[in-house]
Structure 1
Amino acid sequence: MTQKDLAFEAGAATDRSLSRVGAAGAFLGLVVYFTSAVLHPDTPPHDTRAAFAHYADEPYWGIIHLAELLGALLMSASGLALSWRLRKGAACAWAALGGAAMIVFSAVYAVFAAVDGVGIGILVRRLAAAGPDNAVVFEAAYAVRQVEAGLFALQWFMFGLAAAMYTFAFISARSAGPWFSAMAVLSALASVGTLAFAVAQAQTGFTETSMAFQLGLYPGVLWVVAVGIFLLRSPVSEAQVWY
């Protein structure tokens, strides 16, 4: 075996390892995230007083939000693995920008988890303990709620930008095979849906309108699953084919 062959095999082994980790992050991240979402109190967030009362009764409020953060971090890891997978050729620059956007997404999500999972949790418990004379505590909790609403918009805005960057990456690599074109379409759908929700959330906060736009997040779920499958089926960047 020549030196070039040895180098190729070493690179391929690295690619396969990172792709497996990325695929595991995609699937496990979705499981963790949706399990914690099911455990999260389901009162509509725009029904503020009812939501605060429900949150105050949840004994595992902080743990639920740490689990949601873990799920988001695992999904971000799948995005970084995808950036590595697409690092060569014309797709490289777009993939790098997509990976950077995923890092910002997870960083904003961490701040969101702190505000929602810790700050809001403490305030709603104080609100419940204050009894009828709780106007000041309610206004404090409501103010923090608006910070949470802004972070919620920003995190999904960054996710949508990441999906857009991956769209261009897959388009740039479309000559590698039909599955790259399919991934470009899925990435575009995830980007449009998520960005639409982010804009609605940023414009209106927690409202019936923004909650209706949450349907736009579901293409993102499909995209994460597709990323996991893509990394398993086409793990090596040197071989730009689906196999």
Structure 2
Amino acid sequence: MGPDMRVGGEAYTASWRSRTLTIAGGLMVGGFLLNVILTAALHPSGEEDDHAEIFTKYADSGSWIAVHLGQFIAVLVTLSGLLVLYRVLRGTNGSSLLAQLAAATAVATAAIWAVLQGLDGVGLKQAVDSWVSASGAEKTIRFANAETVRWLEWGLQSYFRILLGLTLALFGTAILTSRRVAGWLGWTALVGGVCSVIVGVDVGYSGLASGLQDVLGIAIFALVLLFAVGVLVTGVREHNRHDR
């Protein structure tokens, strides 16, 4: 193979890598921000474990099902960004297996997210609406039914957080091993993933509200956003550098 062919191949590889990183970062940033906007602007908030109060807010929400469908799509878009990032990491000897495991856990995370949103976005809404519209002895039964759905949501939320954390941690470790992306991005994903696993375990014990979750939730928000933006910026910078 002559020098010109090698140079052309290297240029194509660099261009493909920069495009792939840009797409991965764009998907992660876009999905993450869409989920944040939908949750902050339209999702009812309050004391999550005060069921009488929070169920009333849920029942009053006319956009509940649409908001959860939007959240469902947003998180899937974010996870698809990780799967695109996998394409950059998969060919490296030291990180190939780790990257494959990371991609597999991302798919598993998407699956449990779908079940969680179906239960929360549709099942819980129907349960709380039935409770609000009931009267007499039936109201007590309907409230108990809604609490059962809520507790199922706790379980799925716990395992979703754990799987999401494992996904981030595996991607972070694959980045550190492959050295194809800046090491600080790997550490960001790894630390964010560990925090998510801790939150997932805490949800199983404490429910959807605790002081630990408040603190780590802020850390996870910052770390995941930093990771997503970092991947996007890396792709854009590499693209601009190779175009000069």
Instruction: State the shift of 1:3 in Å.
Output: 4.8
- Distance (whole Å) between structure 2 residues aligned to residue 30 and residue 183 of structure 1: 17
Query: Structure 2: which 5+ residue stretches go unaligned?
Result: none
Q: CA RMSD of the aligned region, Å? A: 2.5
Which residue does the alignment assign to 1:143?
148
Which residue does the alignment assign to 1:110?
114
Q: Secondary structure at the match of 2:224?
A: helix
Question: Is 2:127 the counterpart of 1:120?
Answer: no
Instruction: State the shift of 1:79 in Å.
Output: 1.2
- 1:82, 1:95 within 8 Å by CA — same for their partners in 2? no
- Distance (whole Å) between structure 1 residues aligned to residue 232 and residue 38 of structure 2: 26
Which residue does the alignment assign to 1:212?
212
Cα distance change of structure 1 residues 57 and 147 upon mapping to structure 2, 3 Å threshold: same
Any idea what the Cα deviations from partners look like across 1:179-205, whole Å, max 9, x if unmatched?
732123212220221111001111233
- Distance (whole Å) between structure 1 residues aligned to residue 198 and residue 135 of structure 2: 39
Which amino acid is the alignment partner of residue 197 of structure 2? L
Which residue does the alignment assign to 2:204?
202
Q: Which of the residues 97, 100, 119 maps onto 2:101?
A: 97
Q: Which of the residues 165, 169, 172 maps onto 1:164?
A: 169
Which residue does the alignment assign to 2:157?
152
Any idea what the Cα deviations from partners look like across 1:154-190, whole Å, max 9, x if unmatched?
111011101211232122134x5xx732123212220
- Distance (whole Å) between structure 2 residues aligned to residue 7 and residue 66 of structure 1: 43
Q: Which of the residues 41, 59, 64 maps onto 2:62?
A: 59
Which residue does the alignment assign to 2:232?
232
TM-score (norm 1): 0.85
> What percentage of residue pairs aligned between the two structures are identical?
21
Question: Is 2:33 the counterpart of 1:31?
Answer: yes
Instruction: State the shift of 1:8 in Å.
Output: 4.4
TM-score (norm 2): 0.85
- 1:26, 1:224 within 8 Å by CA — same for their partners in 2? no
Q: Secondary structure at the match of 1:56?
A: helix
- Distance (whole Å) between structure 1 residues aligned to residue 26 and residue 176 of structure 2: 25
Instruction: State the shift of 1:54 in Å.
Output: 0.7
- Distance (whole Å) between structure 1 residues aligned to residue 7 and residue 134 of structure 2: 71
- 1:75, 1:224 within 8 Å by CA — same for their partners in 2? no
Instruction: State the shift of 1:13 in Å.
Output: 4.2
- Distance (whole Å) between structure 1 residues aligned to residue 39 and residue 127 of structure 2: 21
Which residue does the alignment assign to 1:81?
84
Question: Between Structure 1 and Structure 2, how many residues are aligned?
Answer: 234
- 2:166, 2:194 within 8 Å by CA — same for their partners in 1? no
- Distance (whole Å) between structure 1 residues aligned to residue 95 and residue 226 of structure 2: 18
Which residue does the alignment assign to 1:186?
188
Which residue does the alignment assign to 2:21?
19
Cα distance change of structure 1 residues 130 and 223 upon mapping to structure 2, 3 Å threshold: same
Any idea what the Cα deviations from partners look like across 1:11-53, whole Å, max 9, x if unmatched?
4444333322212211111221011111111022100111111
Which amino acid is the alignment partner of residue 104 of structure 2? A
Which amino acid is the alignment partner of residue 81 of structure 2? S
